[in-house]
Amino acid sequence: MKTGSLNLPLHGGKAPYWLFNRMKKLAREIIILMVSEYGSVEVLNKISNPLWFQALGCVLGFDWHSSGVTTTVCGALKSAVKGLEKDLDLFIAGGKGATSRKTPSEIMAASELMGVDFSHLVYNSKIVAKVDSSALQDGYQLYHHCFFFTGDGNNWSVVQQGMNDGNKSARRYHWISNIVKDFTTEPHNAICCNQKNITLNLTDKESKNAKETITQISSEKPKLILKDLNLVKKYQEKNYNLPRRHHIKLSDMEFKRLNKVFTKTYERKPENFEKLLAIRGIGPKTIRALALISELVYDTKYSIKDPARFSFAHGGKDGIPYPVDRKNYDQSIEILHKALKESKIGKTDKIKAIKRLKFFYG
């Protein structure tokens, strides 16, 4: 898979209605065509490719580089397949802000529709978000989570994004199920942003021993953990010469709250780092505290490698490279729509949803 460098400056606002309405119509034709030609699994593979996703944003005429590409394109895709999910064998859950928190309920609604147990997909959605917010702490706060999956529940993809108010940039994380062997060890298909940060990266292979130590520490009695934390705090207060890479401070940690969390982990005794992350209430601060103890007390180092590595069909909403040509855009939708109706795929059972498309046009 090709990789490259993608800069996603943090932009506010939203797509105007006239553009978003066209985006979802064109997205619908594109998805139907792709499913009919290649199948829904290949659509997930494409979605997980950051460059393909970026190109789709360009074709849909939104913007070629801003953070809004992620949220708006995912929103258009979700609207595009609404009502056609079963026929397309493609479901999309989640979205931006409060909508992202509806992901579990939307997955279970699909479960009822298909008559298949999707509880594992709910777990996958939650652990993916936990990994990119707690196991990988790169300065970007997640605010968007979109979960794509097939009707049998065997294949899924995630596109989620975080923002960094400090450098006014966004970072997009792409996941695909067929390459995830371990949720906490280099699981990403790609991470897109050219802003590098000092990170706490427990997803790197170099963090293997640190994760094992953190998991062991989490099963210790809370009093012993807090004793170690206080020891580290005294070191920091006395200005000991700690390694320069230590960006973790104990001053922003509430020890009383941590005591409650550590009591929970002690009682649950997670068998591995993934199980620790999956415990409700375990967040970035808890993981930072355990990582700090693992290094300063037990001399088990974790990785600080930042894993970030890497439009012109209808114009863009900001007038770059030129204003959206509405007439040309509508013509593209109509051409695709007619081509689909007249092609042989419209005569097969594979994509009966095409016959329903008339209901989306008024």
Q: Dump pLDDT digits (tens) for 90-134.
A: 999 999 999 999 999 999 999 999 999 999 999 999 999 999 999
**Quick one: tokens of 24?**
């979802």
- Enter the tokens of residue 200: 């706490």
Tens of pLDDT, residues 17-36: 888 888 889 999 999 989 98
Is residue 7 pLDDT above 50, yes or no? Answer: no
Find the length of the chain: 362
Mean pLDDT of 232-241: 65
pLDDT at 233: 74
Q: For residue 304, what pLDDT is reported?
A: 81
Per-residue confidence (pLDDT) for residue 357, from 0 to 100 = 47
Span 176-201, average pLDDT? 85
Residue 75 has pLDDT above 90, yes or no: yes
Considering only 56-70, 175-189, 272-286, which range has the smallest mean pLDDT?
56-70
- Distance CA(304)–CA(191), nearest Å, equals 15
Q: Is the pLDDT of residue 53 over 50?
A: yes
% residues pLDDT > 90 (the chain): 44
Convert 37-52 to b/e letters by CB count within 10 Å (16 or more is b): eebbbebbbbbbbbee
Residue 86: the pLDDT is 94
Which pLDDT score is estimated for 337? 67
C-beta of residue 178 within 8 angstroms of C-beta of residue 1 = no
CB atoms within 10 A of CB 167: 15
Report residue 293's pLDDT band, with 50, 70 and 90 as the boundaries.
Answer: confident
Q: Is the pLDDT of residue 270 over 80?
A: yes
- 194 or 353: which leads in pLDDT: 194
Residue range 164-168: mean pLDDT, rounded: 83
Rounded to the nearest 5 degrees, what angle is found at the Cα of 249, between the Cα atoms of 277 and 243? 100
pLDDT digits (tens, 9 = 90+) for 209-228: 999 999 999 999 999 888 88
Q: For residue 130, what pLDDT is reported? A: 96
User: What is the distance between the alpha carbons of residues 132 and 29, in angstroms, rounded to a whole number?
Assistant: 32
How far apart are the C-alpha atoms of 104 and 123, rounded to whole Å? 8
Task: Extract the runs of DSSP E, i.e. beta strands, from the chain.
Answer: 91-96, 136-137, 141-149, 156-164, 169-176, 190-192, 200-201
Q: Name the percent of the chain lying above pLDDT 70.
A: 72
Q: Which two tokens stand for residue 87?
A: 């026929």
Lowest mean pLDDT among 67-71, 159-163, 191-195, 344-348: 344-348
Kindly tell me if the per-residue pLDDT of 234 is higher than 80.
no
pLDDT tier for residue 6 given thresholds of 50, 70 and 90:
very low
Q: How far apart are CA 291 and CA 277, in angstroms?
A: 13
CB atoms within 10 A of CB 243: 9
Alpha helices per DSSP H over 9-49:
17-38, 40-47
